[in-house]
Amino acid sequence: MVAALVLTGCASLNSLPQSAGEVAFDGERGKTGWAEHRNNGVFQGYDGDQVFEAAKVGLERSGFAVKRADRERGMVLGEHGITLVDWNVVAGVYFQQTGEDTRVHVVSEGSRDVGFAGDATAADWPGKILLNMREYLYGTH
């Protein structure tokens, strides 16, 4: 029974949206659920191909292993192993080109444990991922 509780509490890539069409680019930011955080951004003057590459780099530089990447679906998904406050974390970067700019939506989910600390998932994974994407695109890498 304990194993079942542990398995159901883990964050998984399947719990994330599987395409850019499933996210709201102007949606909520910050903490949006138990162990879930979101952020949005716009990369002015960068096309979808450039942002797709930046999403992979942004995840990797934030400590995530890229597990799924699909340019046509406008998404890159990654997994982060155990941290000081998380059993595991998954994150998705979603992008949509609009004219000469590309809109981005980043979501992270941590394991849903109910230990002594409760929901202690690190709050700024999306911000860190966006920062690493910006650094890559703006040439400060």
d(CA 15, CA 8) in angstroms, rounded, equals 11
| CB of 30 closer than 8 Å to CB of 37 | yes
d(CA 37, CA 61) in angstroms, rounded, equals 18
Range of the domain at 16: 2-137
d(CA 132, CA 114) in angstroms, rounded, equals 31
Read off the pLDDT of residues 51-107 as tens digits, 9 standing for 90 and up.
999 999 999 999 999 999 999 999 999 999 776 666 788 999 999 999 999 999 999
Which residues, listed in sequence order, are joined to residue 65 by a DSSP beta bridge? 79
In this structure, the number of other CB atoms found within 10 A of the CB of residue 89 comes to 25
Read off the pLDDT of residues 1-20 as tens digits, 9 standing for 90 and up.
334 334 445 778 888 999 99
Q: What CATH number corresponds to the domain at position 119?
A: 3.30.310.80
Rounded to 5°, the CA angle 100-101-102 comes to: 135
Domain count within the chain: 1
Query: CA-based Rg of the chain, rounded to a whole angstrom?
Result: 15
